[in-house]
A and B are shown apart, each in its own frame.
Chain A
Amino acid sequence: MRDSELIKKCLAGDVAEYRKLMEKYRGKAMALAVNILRNREDAEDVCQDAFIKAYHHLPQFDLTASFKSWFYTVLYNRCLDQIRKKKRYYKFMEKYKKEPETQTFAVGANPGSSFPYDHRLLKELSPKERLTLYLWAQEGYTSAEIASVLRCSPSTVRVHLYKSRKKVKAVLEGEHVAMQNG
């Protein structure tokens, strides 16, 4: 069943139909959120919030548009909220990761917010760059489609994409050289 038909049924009062939408996009939402936040627990919280927020804003959704892109916008904005909220905690964790001789200790403040994914290169990129690259490389989005998610122009997306791809290339080449030199 198409997304627009599911949404129409939800708007008619059938909340159970929304579950089908959630099932359909649950995995993709988690993958996107994890790549932006680099943390599974936060990604789950953010995905749940995004689904709830999307449900409440369904009456404003344009049925002719892509629900997936629209939902990604909601999810991305929630990710940014989460990052802002935990900025101080993340700064501390980044510093902690950089100090190899620091003794490990239990993080009592927020034990769920760890960085289980050691994709060091991801942290070189901003959340916007991570989103742009993820949608381009993993989802095969065009500049116009990414622009609809980021709520900007396709030309802006092309510039973001160019800069982030150049950054990734430079970092990968730097890592390659470092590995060759031992």
Chain B
Amino acid sequence: MWRCKMVDTFFTILPLKKWQDFLIRRHISNCPACMGKLADKYEVRTILIAGSEIPTAKDFWPGFISRLNQGLKQNELPTQRVWNWGYVAVGVFVTVAAIFWNLRTTPPVSPELSENFQIKSIEIDGRPAQAFLFKTEDPNMYFVWAEKNNEGE
């Protein structure tokens, strides 16, 4: 009996199935005491659902044929599936390209001064002055530098 207990202990503590199988084949399956702790086939059958308790299984053929035909229709044009995936890929590519196109920084188009801004004359103290126009990156902002004309210029 001590051998059976030892085997039982080893079986519990050894994690590897190969070791456990070794113990089963070398001792457990040859020991009446150990085999007495296992349910035999008759006892196992008492807990299983017997065939007599199961009503006759329905005929699966009509359902099988119906689903087979449905499957055939879905798989009818494998090339169509490839084309569909192609359309999806093109659509995704176009969408991504459009997003990137909109997000890119475009250099502001320099407006012609004559279109947006005109200085007809600048006077300082009632006398014509020189004017210099500086355009910034902001298309709505210009710097105007005005200075008196030097005598004789």
Contacts and interface: CB of A to CB of B under 8 A. Distances in A.
B37 A166 contact: yes
Contacts of B38: 162, 165-166, 169
Contacts, number: 104
Contact of A44 (B28, B47, B57): B57
A27 B53 CA distance: 12
Contacts of B61: 19, 22
Binding site of A, secondary structure by majority: helix, strand, loop or mixed?
helix
Given A48-B63, A159-B24, A169-B37, A121 B54 contact: no
Given A156-B17, A159-B17, A34 B49 contact: yes
Interface in A24-59: 26-27, 29-31, 34-35, 38, 40, 44, 47-48, 51-52, 55-56
A16 to B, nearest CB: 9
A119 B47 CA distance: 6
A19 B64 CA distance: 9
Given A158-B25, A166-B37, A38 B49 contact: yes
A169 B39 contact: yes
Interface residues of A, number: 42
Contacts of A142: none
A145 B49 CA distance: 21
Contact of B49 (A117, A165, A169): A117
Interface string B1-32: 00000000000000001101100110010000
A169 B28 CA distance: 15
Contacts of A11: none
Interface in B51-78: 51, 53-61, 63-65, 67-68, 71
Contact of A48 (B39, B47, B49, B64): B64
A95 B39 CA distance: 28
A168 B37 CA distance: 10
B-side interface size class: 35 or more
Binding site of B, secondary structure by majority: helix, strand, loop or mixed?
helix
A122 interface: yes
13 contacts: A30-B54, A31-B54, A47-B60, A48-B64, A117-B53, A153-B17, A155-B20, A159-B24, A162-B20, A165-B40, A169-B38, A172-B39, A172-B46
Interface of A: 15, 18-19, 22, 26-27, 29-31, 34-35, 38, 40, 44, 47-48, 51-52, 55-56, 117, 119, 121-122, 130, 133-134, 136-138, 153, 155-156, 158-159, 162, 165-166, 168-169, 171-172
